[in-house]
Structure formats: structure tokens, C-alpha cells
Amino acid sequence: MKAGRWVVLAAGLILGFLRAPQLLLQPRLWAEEGSAFLQHAFHVSFWSGVFYVEPGAAGYWNLAATLPSAISAHAVSLENAALVATLSAAIPLVLAMVIILFGRSQVFDTPARQIAGIAVLLLSPAATGEVWLNSINAQVYWGFVGLCLLCEDLEAHSPRVWPWAVAALAFGGLSGPYTNLLLPAFIFRAARERTPRLMVACQVLVACTAIQLGTVLFADVDGIRGARWQGFPLDWSRAIAHTVYAQGLVPLLGPDFAHAIATRLLEALPRAAFALAALGGAGLMGVLLERRRDAPSHTLLVALGSLWLGTLIFAQSGTAGGRYAVLSGFALGLLLLEHTRPQLSGGRRLVLGGLLVMSLVIGAASYGLRPPHDCWVACANWREEVAAWRQDPGRRLEVWPQRRPIPWHLRLQPRETPARAKGTLGSRLPTRSDATRSIPPTEGPQ
């Protein structure tokens, strides 16, 4: 049995690799990975890089992006910065598979359901190339790790494994809002079961959420305090309609079918009526849910609801699609998976299980990122960019995606000595005030 799990893990890793082999064979930096995080970390101390909050953005702390950038700038050669970022983004995917296969899950409790859980992770139609194997969007997959831990019997973990589960939950909570949006589901389950480790998990997430809220509300990053709420007030009918479309229809039908259906409905109905119809459809799915009071599906439903509400409010202008919808798509897939158990009524199991199979088939049909996502002309080769920069330090370094007319790029000022040019932790590092004066203006979008 255990050998079979290792085989499934290997198959999952191979399938993940085949989605975009070029990203691991020739790692790249993606957007703010280079233009914001690495550019900043290169000119400041290691810890200043770790605790960096990107100016002009949402204002939260993204540890999954800042830590690899600080390591790339100070602990490895600059040529390996893209490799560090890519491998760091692969960690939550591998960790999620390990939890599914070797954990003590209430949802992934049979070999077939474990395989289905990995299929949801790899084949969900909600997944986009924008969040695949880059550190700035690894927070989405750390959120999936949080979903897996939400389904775990934490009391069954050994004393050696339990601290690692807490650490993974905390890391996800400090890497963006997605893991924190699962807090209502953790509280719901803890209130129902009242086990000590669930209480600890809730406390960890409360602390992480408080840190993130404090960062957003009180950290005056380059004088942008108060500008982060520019999306309010929302057009609620538009926001609700778009959320149900992007986080309900797309994960089930894929973007092509969902867009075709939504377009026809919007042609026939006013937007407010479409929003009400969409909510009615979501309510109908709720009617089909399992009735057992201790069912994991109830916890997953709370998680899905909090993800929908959170992304509806915080996504820019209420358009909660794309990268905002990926984790919601995973949660919806796990909710459907929980309704494929033999003890449920045949009709309910047939409808919801059929939706899950349909979504995975649609996701498998469009699997892969070829040509490389958003590489419109010729993708920048990071090692070649660094080699050219070492010859001409005034040259800008290109990163993905190379959009036109405004490409993503960064500029680095060479360090004073050969030892410092290697970016080692043992070299003398500039102070934050020195770095602030030395960082050149960034021309690309931030």
C-alpha cells in the first residue's frame, strides 16, 4: 500500500513537470519576481529583503516571494535566482501531494480519493498559467496546502509531524491572503470538534491574519496608505455575477464553455437578474450537499464561501477571476469529491460526482502551457540576461512576461567587490538607507 502511494506521488510529479517542462528545464523569473522582489532584495540586506512589502500593490506580506528573492540575492549566484524562485514555487505543490497521500485526511481516505485529490490539484479548469511555478503566486498553492490541512485529522499526527503542519499553515498565512481566508472554516471545524490541535491551528491563522491586516492597514509603504482600497465601492451585482461565473462556472465547465454560457445568459437577462440566477444556482448546489452534521463537506462549504466572499471584496474592482479564482476552483473540486461516497444517495452522488468528472476531463483536455504562458515574442533566458548584464552593468535584465509595449524588467547596480558580486551572505551588505538611494527607478509596471 505504501509503495503504491510512492508510485502515485511519482506520477503526480511527472504530470506536473509535463505541464510546462521548459519552466523547470530553463527556469525564468515572472513579473514582480524580478522587477520588484529581486530588484529590491539585491540592493538591501538579507532580512530587509525577507520583510519587504511591495509598494503600490495590495500591501500584504508575501513571504513565499520575499524569502526566495532574499536567498537569490545573498546566498546563491545571481544566475541561479530563477531556479530558486521556480523550485520554491514547486514546494507547496509537492507538499500538498504528500499530505494527500501520506496524511490522515477525512476526505482523502481511500487510494481512489487520493488520486482524485491530486487530479483536482493538477487538472482543475480554474488553474491558470499565471500562477504556475512562480513565487509571487505560490500563495495560491500554499492555500491548497491549507485546504488539505483543513481536511486532516490533526490529532492523529505524530509529535514529529505536527510541528511541520503548523509551520506550513503559518508560512501560507504569511504569504498572502488565500490561507487566511480559510480561517472561518478552521474556526467552524474547531467549534464543532473542539480538539486541542484544531484550536492551535486557529490561533496560528488568527496571528497570521492579524499580521497581514496590520501590514495592509498600518504599514505606510512609500506613502500609499489608504490607496489600497481603490476598488470600493463595488458594483455588487456585477461583482456577484462575475464571482459566480469565474469561481463557479469556470472550475466546472472550463473558461470556453463558461464564457459561452455566461454570454448568452447576460444577453437574455439584466446583470442584476443574472446575479440572482447565479446565486440561485449556487443555492441549488447547497441543497444537494450531504446532510450529516459531522460531514467534512460542511467545512469545505464554509471554506468555499469565505474564499468567494473574500475574493469578491478584495479582488480589484470585484472581478474575481483568473488567479483569484484558482483556490476557489480547488475547494469546489474537493467539495464535489466529498460527495462521491457510496453511502450517499445515488442521485446526489451521480449529479455531483458527474460534475467533478466533467471538470477534470475538461481540465485534462486543455492541460499544458505550450507555448509558454504569456511569452509573446521570445522568452527571456535568465542566465543569458545575467551574462549580458555582467558585461554591461547598465543594461536592464528582461523577465517574463515580455509584454508589449511595456515589458517587465529590472535594473541592478553591481556590488563593489567580486565577493559581493556573488551575493554571498558573508559579504558586507549595504544598509537599507544606502539601498534606498541606490535603487534605480523601475520602468516596467509594478
Write out the three cell numbers for 432.
Answer: 537599507
Q: Please, are residues 397 and 412 in contact by the beta-carbon 8 Å criterion?
A: yes
What is the per-residue pLDDT for 241? 75
- In the prediction, which pLDDT does 371 show? 59
pLDDT of residue 142: 97
pLDDT in tens, 135-164: 999 999 999 999 999 999 999 999 999 999
Task: Give the pLDDT confidence of 311-354 residue by residue, as tens digits.
Answer: 887 765 557 788 889 999 999 999 999 888 887 777 778 888 89
Give per-residue pLDDT as tens, 395-430. Answer: 999 898 876 556 788 999 887 644 444 444 433 333
Average pLDDT over residues 390-396: 92
Distance, CA of 415 to CA of 273 (rounded, Å): 60
What is the amino acid identity at position 301?
Answer: L
Mean pLDDT of 375-392: 85
CA-closest candidate to residue 173, choices 133, 202, 130: 202
How many Cα atoms sit within 13 Å of 172 on the Cβ side?
32
Q: Do 40 and 69 form a contact (C-beta atoms < 8 A)?
A: yes
pLDDT of 83 higher than 90: yes
Write out pLDDT tens, residues 343-380: 777 777 888 889 999 999 999 988 876 555 666 556 78
Q: pLDDT for 203-228, tens place per residue?
A: 999 999 999 999 888 765 444 444 44
pLDDT at residue number 367:
86
Q: Which of 172, 181, 148 is nearest to 304 (CA)?
A: 181
pLDDT confidence band for 444 (50 / 70 / 90):
very low
Q: Are 152 and 99 in contact (CB under 8 A)?
A: yes
Residue among 40, 23, 8 nearest 439 (CA): 40
Mean pLDDT of the chain: 82
Better-scored residue on pLDDT, 284 or 315: 315
The packing angle between helices 2-19 and 81-102, to 10°, is 140
* pLDDT tens digits, one per residue of 224-274: 444 444 445 566 777 777 788 888 888 988 888 887 877 776 666 666 665
Reply yes or no on whether the pLDDT at 436 is more than 50: no
Residue given cell 535603487 in the structure block: 439
SS3 content of the chain, % helix, strand, coil (to 5): 65, 0, 30
pLDDT-derived band at 276 (thresholds 50, 70, 90) equals low
Tens of pLDDT, residues 16-73: 999 988 889 889 999 899 999 999 999 999 999 999 998 767 789 999 999 999 999 9
Q: How many CA atoms lie within 13 A of 286 on its CB side?
A: 11
pLDDT of residue 318: 58
Quick one: pLDDT at residue 322?
A: 85
Please tell me the least confidently modeled range out of 183-192, 294-303, 426-435.
Answer: 426-435
Q: Residue 271's pLDDT is what?
A: 60
Which H helix or E strand runs over 397? strand 397-398
Spatial distance between the Cα atoms of 68 and 232, rounded to a whole number of angstroms: 33
Of residues 443 and 93, more confidently modeled: 93
Judge if pTM exceeds 0.75. Answer: yes
What is the rounded distance in angstroms from the CA atom of residue 150 to the CA atom of residue 107?
A: 10
pLDDT of 55: 75
- Confidence at residue 255, expressed as pLDDT on a 0 to 100 scale: 85
What does the alpha-carbon distance between residue 257 and residue 153 come to, in Å, rounded to a whole number?
A: 37
- The string of pLDDT tens digits covering residues 102-139 is 999 989 999 999 999 999 999 999 988 889 999 999 99
Residue pair 177/213 in contact by the 8 Å Cβ criterion: no
pLDDT surpassing 80 at residue 99: yes
